[in-house]
Amino acid sequence: MDELSLSKPDVQIALLVVLATAFLLLILKFVSGKKRGNTVLLVGPCNGGKTTLFYCLKDGSTGAITVASMQENEGWCQVRNDKDRVVGSVRVMDLPGHPRLRSKLEHYLKNASAVVLVIDSADITPNKTEAAEDLFEVLTHPTVARRRLPVLLACNKSDLETQAHSVDFCRRTIEKQLDAMRKTRLALGGDAGRAISALGKLDKPLSLTALRSPITAASISAEKGDVSEVVRFLAKVM
């Protein structure tokens, strides 16, 4: 009886320690899983309009004269609400689309809070491979997959009315290409370290709207300053 009453507090303390440790571990897991970087990345194939969009977001300029980027542009963009009131600012980085400079994407994704994939909606068919490759790199990046970073597919150049494809067409084109790419990459087996499971179950056709990282698509015209969908996206991820 004596022995039992002596050991009771010890058991209680031990239980408390175990519970407190489990609780702390749970909190740590939650915090590290949700922790995001602080930069929104503009990525996508050459000529999609990333730099034009960057300057439009940064200083509201439209029709900026650009040349193919050889290095990143970085700046803070003010975010406005629907009533045009400034509600904060977001760090935005415009990455060059040139395939030789694309390796930098891997590095910047570690500190990204969200990604905007900018594509030329008038020229999506010849650029679908590059666009899908970029999306593959983004979505299967271990950090992106773990943090479930939001992605916006910005279908740019909507002002080219007769040539620009619809958002739905662009999304489906990239979806198909990404599906084919994941099969090929898996068959080749060269994707060690990539979170392929982030692209959904293999026995089902890939669907961009049903992935772990939420993907939205919008029609924009960076040249004409019609970028409200991007601003709305920035406000959400701020």
Ligand X SMILES: Nc1nc2c(ncn2[C@@H]2O[C@H](COP(=O)(O)OP(=O)(O)OP(=O)(O)O)[C@@H](O)[C@H]2O)c(=O)[nH]1
**C-beta closer to ligand X: residue 52 or 177:** 52
CB of 99 to Mg ion, least distance (A): 13
Q: What character string, x for contact with ligand X (CB under 6 A) and - otherwise, covers 163-202?
A: ----------------------------------------
CB of 53 to ligand X, least distance (A): 7
Q: What character string, x for contact with ligand X (CB under 6 A) and - otherwise, covers 105-144?
A: -------------x--------------------------
Burial 138-147 (b: 16+ CB within 10 A, else e): bbbbebbbeb
**C-beta closer to ligand X: residue 96 or 150:** 96
Region 69-108 residues binding Mg ion, contact defined as CB under 5 A: 69
| Local structure of residue 164 (DSSP, 8 states) | P
How far apart (Å, rounded) are the C-alpha atoms in residues 176 and 131? 12
Taking a C-beta distance cutoff of 8 angstroms, is the pair 97, 83 a contact? no
Q: Tokens 């489906």 appear where?
A: 172
| Local structure of residue 77 (DSSP, 8 states) | E
How far apart (Å, rounded) are the C-alpha atoms in residues 55 and 66? 10
H helices within the chain, ranges in order?
A: 2-34, 50-59, 104-109, 124-139, 142-147, 167-188, 228-237
Taking a C-beta distance cutoff of 8 angstroms, is the pair 201, 183 a contact? no
Q: Which stretch binds ligand X (CB under 6 A): 10-18, 94-102, 176-184, 210-218?
A: 94-102
Contact pick of 36, 37, 58, 69 for ligand X (by CB under 6 A): 69
How far apart (Å, rounded) are the C-alpha atoms in residues 102 and 97? 6
Q: Please give the residue whose beta carbon sits closest to ligand X in the complex.
A: 97
Contact pick of 43, 44, 49, 51 for Mg ion (by CB under 5 A): 51
**C-beta closer to ligand X: residue 29 or 98:** 98
How far apart (Å, rounded) are the C-alpha atoms in residues 77 and 86? 10
Taking a C-beta distance cutoff of 8 angstroms, is the pair 54, 154 a contact? no
Residue 222 binds to ligand X (criterion: CB under 6 A): yes
CB of 221 to ligand X, least distance (A): 4
| Interface positions with ligand X (CB under 6 A) | 46-52, 66, 68-69, 96-98, 118, 156-157, 159-160, 221-223
